[in-house]
Amino acid sequence: MGFLHIGNYICTWNCSYEVKSSKITPTITSLELSKIQTFPCGIHGSDITPLILSAEVVNDDIMRVTVRDPGSLRFEVPKEIVPGPSRRIISNPALKFVWTERPFTFAIVRTSTGESIFNTSNERSDPIVFEDQYISISTTLPNGHRVYGIGEREGPLKVEPGRDVVMWNADPWSSAGVSCEEGINLYGDHPFFIELRGQGSSTSSHGVFWSNSNAKRFSASKEGDSLETKSIGGIVDLWFFQGPNPEKVVQQLTEVVGRPSLPPYWALGYHQCGLGQSNKAMLNEIMEKFDTLNLTCDVIWSDIDSMHNNRDFTFDPILFPESYANKFLVGLTSREMHWIPILGHCIVIDESHEPYSLGIELNVFAKDPETGKPLKSELWPRKCHMVDFSHPNATKYWTILLKKYYSIAPFSGIWIDMNGLFDFPHFCVILAIFKTHAKKNFNRAVEHLQWILRKWSCSFRQIQYSAMESSHAQGLEAF
């Protein structure tokens, strides 16, 4: 139920659905949901009806609930990204799906105790709202609960009552000891939380993951009795993990999203990296300092100032020439050290630049959905196109260029930077000025750049990102 204040009146609307038909097997419950014909919800468009809900017992520890629009193809996170568990043996499932018919609500319940770990029955909000650009689903929370997660964001891991967590990847910077505002969303998107209930030996845990790549918001009520999740697109695709302790919850989560990769042993050592540390004079000074202090360094990273005009797979002829890079890498190898250069997905529009011409040939650049032509942006190398990582030729594209790059400068790893949709021409101008001054007086250029960042504080929020729309090979449209 929703409420809208108009003058001295309170108008209500009902976003509820009812179950029109059902099909039940031992592991899958399929429901057709129809909008109850009352005053329409219409928060951000027309209510979609009917809806198809599927609740699947995936294995003994995991349950999945999806809600889809059968009349329209909506973007879903590809299975290549979220593969799901390979363990499908079901002998004694820990979770079950229960529901009410009118109005429709559902709960995920522990079979052993009957406890609901997720329950959409809430007097203050509708169980589910499903519109073209607005999806909402909420769960009640018991007294004494603790919710952790919903990253990546600045601030405590615990989600306190009244907390709103926005999930839309951003690149905020903090500098000169000034941290970004608490709660601000960061680079990653992890729509997952662990809820703990009880105390001491009676504590139990479970987890919830919403596989959705659109902008989202998780809102904990001020009273602490509910958690509402919202999205501007996609579908409802919820995974429930029975735990019953945090370690088991995380193990069950990684069954779905994939296990972490085991890093090489040297990657666990000391790494030296920083903008402004990629020129030959600074690198020589850094290496001498490590020797003087008798400190061990395992990895040197090179930032964008090592490139020629900020172009991928190039070397700045003055700050980091190719001839110096070769000698430098030989020296690193003799010390049993490693080198990681930076690469962006922004490829300068220049027919003489091989990464551009190859990208056109393999058709790997993200497209403007209106024209069908490669989308234009302005990033580090100025006017550029952006590689569409979901394109079937993307792997071939990067393989060709990285093989050639490796033959010139053998690297141990690659720093993939700025692989989202960005556009900030003002910062490109500042970086160009920095590099110009760096060739004359490097230390003064660094001081000037630091002064700018101090003025901006969490400055990437203040740089105006263009509102861009692009289409990808797998059907994703990003706004």
What are the tens digits of pLDDT across the range 6-55? 444 334 446 789 999 999 999 999 999 999 876 556 666 788 999 999 99
Tokens standing for residue 413: 């790893």
How much is the pLDDT for 473?
59
Which of 77-91, 266-280, 423-437 is least confident?
A: 423-437
Please state the rounded mean pLDDT for residues 238-258. 97
| Contact criterion met (CB below 8 Å) for 178 and 237 | no
The pLDDT of residue 477? 44
Angle between helices 354-362 and 394-408 (to 10 degrees): 160
Distances (CA, A) of 130 to 21, 46, 103, 220, 308: 18, 9, 15, 20, 49
Q: Which of 281, 359, 261 is nearest to 324 (CA)?
A: 281
Q: Which residue has the higher pLDDT, 171 or 149?
A: 149
What is the pLDDT averaged over residues 451-472?
43
pLDDT at 378: 83
354 cis-preceded (ω within 30 degrees of 0):
no
pLDDT of amino acid 460: 40
Burial class (CB in 10 A: 0-12, 13-18, 19+), 436: exposed
- Residue 211: what pLDDT? 96
| pLDDT in the model for residue 344 | 85
Please report the pLDDT score of residue 462 as a whole number: 36
The span from the CA of 210 to the CA of 137, in Å, is 11
Q: How many CA atoms lie within 13 A of 449 on its CB side?
A: 22
Q: Residue 347, exposed/middle/buried by CB under 10 A (0-12, 13-18, 19+)? A: buried
CA distance 249 to 306: 43
Per-residue pLDDT averaged across 443-455, rounded?
54
Of the listed ranges 3-7, 374-378, 432-436, the least confidently predicted one is 3-7
The answer to whether 189 touches 167, Cβ cutoff 8 Å, is: yes
- Residue listed under structure tokens 């490109």: 428
Q: How confident is the model at residue 180 (pLDDT cuts 50, 70, 90)?
A: low
- Provide the CA 159 distance to its chain's centre, in angstroms: 19
Q: Which of 228, 231, 257, 252 is nearest to 240 (CA)?
A: 252
Whole-structure pTM value:
0.82
Residue 389 pLDDT = 86
Nearest to 125 by CA among 227, 10, 231, 236: 227
Cβ atoms of residues 438 and 319 within 8 Å: yes
How far apart are alpha carbons 328 and 286 in whole angstroms? 12
Average pLDDT estimate for 175-183: 57
Structure confidence at residue 445 (pLDDT)? 55
Q: How far is CA 182 from CA 167, 177, 232, 255, 459, in A?
A: 14, 14, 23, 31, 15
Do the bridges between strand 299-302 and strand 271-272 make them parallel or antiparallel, or are there none, so unpaired? Answer: parallel
CA end-to-end span of the chain, whole Å? 30
Q: Which of 287, 215, 298, 230 is nearest to 263 (CA)?
A: 298
Rounded CA gap, 306 and 181, in Å? 32
Question: Can you give the pLDDT at residue 247?
Answer: 97
List of E strands, 114-270? 116-119, 128-131, 134-140, 146-153, 164-167, 185-197, 204-210, 216-220, 226-231, 236-241
Helix, strand or coil, per DSSP, at residue 284: helix
| Radius of gyration for the alpha carbons in the chain, expressed in angstroms and rounded | 26
**Confidence band of 233 (pLDDT split at 50, 70, 90):** very high
In the three-class reduction of DSSP (H, G, I as helix; E, B as strand; rest coil), residue 9 is classed as strand
Using 50, 70 and 90 to split pLDDT, how confident is the model at 476? very low
Of 29, 75, 36, 86, the residue nearest 52 (C-alpha):
29
Q: In this predicted structure, what is the pLDDT of residue 186?
A: 78
Mean pLDDT taken over the chain: 84
What tokens appear for 448 in the block? 């000037």
Helix (H) or strand (E) holding 333: helix 322-334
What SS3 class is residue 473?
A: coil
